[in-house]
Amino acid sequence: MARRIAAGAAYGGGGIGLIGAATVGVVLAEVQLAKRTVGGGHADPPRSDGRYGRAYGEDPGHPDCSDCSEPVRFAMLGDSTAAGQGVHRAGQTPGALLAAGLAAVAERPVDLRNVALPGAQSDDLDRQVTLVLSDPAWVPDVCVIMIGANDVTHRMPPTRSVRHLSAAVRRLRTAGAEVVVGTCPDLGTVENVYQPLRWLARRVSRQLAAAQTIGVVEQGGRTVSLGDLLGPEFAANPRELFGPDNYHPSAEGYATAAMAVLPTLCAALGLWPEEERPDISRREGFLPVARAAAQAAAEGGTEVTPAMPAGPRGPWALLKRRRRRRIHHTPDPSPLPR
């Protein structure tokens, strides 16, 4: 199914339904119940734009020296999860956590620009990419996109969803940026979503995540599966890792997500110390991209990256299960220099 969705997105196919017509009545009833208990009443997420790891670019004797390390330019795109909906401090958002972690690994300052929009669907990515690339003097070195949940809840045709995401990755890669995509989370983990909607939400979310992976890898990007919001932690501790609205992650939940994305973010810039060769003991290896995408969608925190040119079975990808790196609390950002 993921292969069909991705092919439809690439070659202009029509929408492919993921839920049979016979279940629509039950699903709609469950959706109405879920809406009464999940989400709503959101405050705007805190602004996380700014410079992180400023000390790495300063000479204590000459704070204004011209030989300071050039900052890494990092852009965050996507929906409310990328924006950090549900937390109150900029330093608790995933963009801030990733920028601070990247600065620590690179030992360079990191300038973050976050253009993510709460409520955004994949068709908003064209506008967001245009914002990111609007300043010729500030072209990002690396971008993280987190998108897909609203596409599912608003029933955007999956072929259309993947088409918009693939186009966004292609534009950013053409501009010279590395791209990491956090794929659609498993909406079946939301605590107040009940059966049969929970089963259907999980199935649809994973199919979209796998199709996103195929589309992104074909454009030269990398993906990290957000799966069941990154592993058994969310299923085991929903009251700690979900925020007050029972839908968006809490500060601890965002930290868990950032821990899984950071190794891939650093690897995209050649900064991660691990060997790039697959580790057989961790069930890593080279697979046709559709198989790699399906495996990643079922296991949170799994990375898929382009590997080999297309063969008889299509493009190949490297499936990796990177060791997570704990991200400590980060202070709020310093304003970006004008």
Phi, then psi, of 68 in degrees rounded to 5: -65, 155
* Catalytic-residue membership of 245: yes
Both structure tokens of 206: 């994973």
Query: What is the DSSP-derived secondary structure letter of residue 333?
Result: P
Candidates 280, 288, 327; CA nearest to 304 is: 288
CA dist 305 and 179 (Å) reads 10
Task: Choose the catalytic residue: 48, 80, 161, 166.
Answer: 80
Place of tokens 């801030």: 96
Q: What is the 3-state secondary structure (H, E, C) of 37-104?
A: HCCCCCCCCCCCCEEECHHHHCECCECCCCCCCCCEEEEEEECHHHHCCCCCCHHHCHHHHHHHHHHH
Can you state the angle between helices 197-218 and 289-297, rounded to 10 degrees? 140
Both structure tokens of 109: 């300052």
Task: Choose the catalytic residue: 49, 228, 248, 250.
Answer: 248
Can you state the angle between helices 2-11 and 289-297, rounded to 10 degrees? 120
Query: What is the DSSP-derived secondary structure letter of residue 242?
Result: B
Spatial neighbors of 118 by CB under 8 A, at least 6 apart, are 42, 44, 45, 79, 80, 83, 85
| Residue 309 CA, distance from chain mean position | 25
Counting every residue, how long is the chain?
Answer: 338
Residue 250 has a CB neighbour count (10 Å cut-off) of 20
Task: Choose the catalytic residue: 123, 245, 279, 332.
Answer: 245
CA dist 304 and 293 (Å) reads 7
Can you state the angle between helices 94-106 and 251-268, rounded to 10 degrees? 40
Annotated active-site positions, please?
A: 80, 245, 248
